[in-house]
Amino acid sequence: MEQRIVQFISALRNSGVRVSLAESEDAFHAIRLMGVQDRDVFQMALRSTLVKDFHAIPVFDELFPLFFGHNQPPVGENVLQNLTPDELEMLAQALEQLAQRWRNLLDRLMEGDQLTDEELAQLAMLTGLQNIDQMRYREWMSRRMEQSIGLSKLDEALEALLELLEAMGMEMEKQQELKAAFQANARALSEQIRQYTGEQIARQISEQPPEAAQNEVYQRPFHALSEKDMEVLRKDVKRLASLLRTRLALRRKRAKNGRLDPKSTIRHNLRHQNVPIVLKFRDRQLKPRLVVICDISTSMRYCSELMLSLLYTLQDQISKTFAFAFIHDMEFVSPYFSGRTVQEAVREILVKNPSGYYNTDLGSSLETYVKGYFDTLDSRTTFIVVGDGRNNYNDPRIDLVEKINRRARQLIWLNPEAPHLWGSGDSDMLKYAQWCDLLLHVRNLSDLTAAIDRLLT
């Protein structure tokens, strides 16, 4: 049992749920206390000690039955038991006449037996199940295994069989009964296969070696990131954000000692007969308001995604964020973030705006912004553009940038492109640059983190 729990915890970890050593120890304490007799209590004990995040609850609930399931998929019934000898004879004849490929399948389903462990192992070998270590392939693998025992041809086979039986003069009712029985057995089999694939994949997940830390990924330029690197970075955004948060919060706290606040000081020292024993200072630190505009065309995608992820993970340090994404036109994307994890939201935005050939056009995007959303900008707001300033020779609309600059507290541009390329080809960066209060070159995630640290101060 303990071995099983350890495997379960390791599968949880490999599925992205963070479980610490202390928590797994708690889980064992809890189970010692509550026992394992009642499955529900057992599940609650494990869940309350291991899972501390409601997003992870579905993962837990999916994995739990695979490790501590009943292990008893429904057993099919014997098709033959309700038949009279005559009907049995008919069935046997009909089967004889059926094509070989259908006969094997129906023979198997007739008794309602489950697949043996060896058969399952063979099937798994055949379909390559041992190479799968992600739960999202479960349905696919189940289907492939069903296919390889011919379960997908059941309808065809049944139809052929019933036709033959009809010809032999079996009663309609009996035929339907037979059909239902075969189908029930088929369902039982596919349930067994599903359970098996789930368990196998879960076991393989639990056996993955933990990922090694890759510090070097932070330093890798955005354009050189692979999808796999991004996975690593996405996981790490949270850690980076908490680092930033502590730094910001401390800075904000220390900065409280601003100017003396006479009114508050007098009020507080009334009880000391107005002898100013406690001095009160004005707390002038306001949390920044942000408007972020992200280029999400293919070249800028990773940079923008990480930027949005970081900002939305840091929401408690920001008074308000309005996020926009653009390729050829501007879209207000803040609503995507309500109620989702940041990663889900970003994924959805990217699904809505698929990659492909797009005419990146910041000029007309800015026009949409100024027309529709200019009220999001005021003198307290920092306006941030994440983009490479490449406009495909469209009108850059410098006048709008100037207008935004005059209205916003500051305008910050984050550009992942190297400075010597600015102004080359279709890049309008140098024209925009004159209206930026701050223009930062962000090559990689470390740069991006540093930039955010700077703009949130």
Partner 1 sequence: MTQFMFQTPQALREALGKQQYIASDEIATILFLSNQLDKPLLVEGPAGVGKTELAKAIAGATQRELIRLQCYEGLDETKALYEWEYAKQLLYTQLLRDKLQETLSGITTLSEAADRLAQEEDVFFSDRFLLQRPLLRAILSEKPVVLLIDEIDRSDAEFEAFLLEVLSDFQISIPELGTLSARHIPLVVLTSNNTRELSEALKRRCLYLFIQYPTLEQELAVVRLKVPELSADLARQAVELVQRLRKMDFRKAPSISETLDWAKALVKLNASMLDENTLQTTLSILLKHENDLQRARKLIKQDQPLRDERRINRWPEDR
Which has the closest alpha carbon to 104: 161, 63, 171?
161
Residues 6+ away with beta carbon under 8 Å from 220: 229, 444
Residue 35 binds partner 1 (CB under 8 A): no
Least distance between partner 1 and beta carbon 279 (Å): 13
Q: Which of 61, 86, 119, 426 binds partner 1 (CB under 8 A)?
A: 61
Helix pair angle (301-313, 342-352), 10° resolution: 150
C-alpha distances out from residue 251 to 254, 319, 377, 454, 456, Å: 5, 16, 25, 12, 11
Return the number of the residue (35 or 262) whose C-beta is nearest partner 1: 35
Task: Report in angstroms how near the CB of residue 225 gets to partner 1 at its nearest.
Answer: 25
Question: Which CB, 339 or 425, lies closer to partner 1?
Answer: 339
For partner 1, the closer of residues 113 and 348 by Cβ is 348
Does residue 253 belong to the site contacting partner 1 (CB under 8 A)?
yes
The phi-psi region of residue 89 (left if phi > 0; otherwise alpha if psi is between -120 and 50; otherwise beta) is: alpha
- Piece in contact with partner 1 (CB under 8 A), picked from 47-55, 94-102, 136-144, 370-378: 47-55
**Under 8 Å between Cβ of 87 and 170:** yes
Residue closer to partner 1 by CB (options 37, 81) is 37
189, 123 Cβ separation under 8 angstroms: no
Residue 401: other Cβ atoms inside 10 A: 25
**What is the nearest approach in angstroms of partner 1 to the Cβ of residue 44?**
5
Minimum CB separation from partner 1 for residue 423, in Å?
41
Using CB under 8 A as the binding criterion, the count of chain residues that bind partner 1 stands at 42
With residue 291 as reference, give the H or E element that holds it. Answer: strand 289-295
Supply the DSSP string of 94-160, one letter for each residue.
HHHHS-HHHHHHHHHHHHTPPPPHHHHHHHHHHHTGGG---GGGHHHHHHHHHHHTTGGGHHHHHHH
Closest CB to partner 1 among 180 and 249? 249
Tokens of 46: 């494990």
- Min dist CB 224 to partner 1, Å, is 30
Q: Closest CB to partner 1 among 244 and 291?
A: 244
Which string of x and - marks every residue 326-355 that binds partner 1 (by CB under 8 A)? ---------x--xxx---------------
Beta carbon nearer to partner 1, 26 or 367: 26
x-or-dash string of contact with partner 1, 254-293, rule CB under 8 A: -----------------xx----xx---------------
Position among 93, 134, 176, 242 found at the interface with partner 1 (CB under 8 A): 242
Beta bridge partners of 385: 293, 413
Q: Where are the alpha helices (DSSP H) in 208-287?
A: 216-219, 227-254, 262-268
Residues 48, 33: Cα–Cα separation, whole Å: 14
Q: Is 220 in the site for partner 1 (CB under 8 A)?
A: no
What 8-state DSSP symbol labels residue 37?
S
Interface stretch with partner 1, choices 32-40, 187-195, 202-210, 353-361 (CB under 8 A): 32-40
Q: Which of 9, 11, 12, 30 is in the footprint of partner 1 by CB under 8 A?
A: 30
Q: Which residue, 45 or 384, is less far from partner 1 as judged by CB?
A: 45
Q: Which is nearer to partner 1, 57 or 126 (CB)?
A: 57
CA distance 125 to 147: 14
Q: Is residue 102 within 8 Å of 182, Cβ to Cβ?
A: no
Taking the C-alpha atoms of residue 316 and residue 336, their distance in angstroms, rounded to an integer, is 18
Q: Does 245 bind partner 1 (CB under 8 A)?
A: yes
Candidates 72-80, 206-214, 313-321, 440-448 — which segment interacts with partner 1 by CB under 8 A? 313-321
Binding stretches for partner 1 (CB under 8 A): 18, 20, 22-23, 26, 29-30, 33-34, 40-41, 44-45, 47-49, 51-55, 57-58, 61, 238, 242, 245-246, 249-250, 253, 271-272, 277-278, 313, 315-316, 335, 338-340
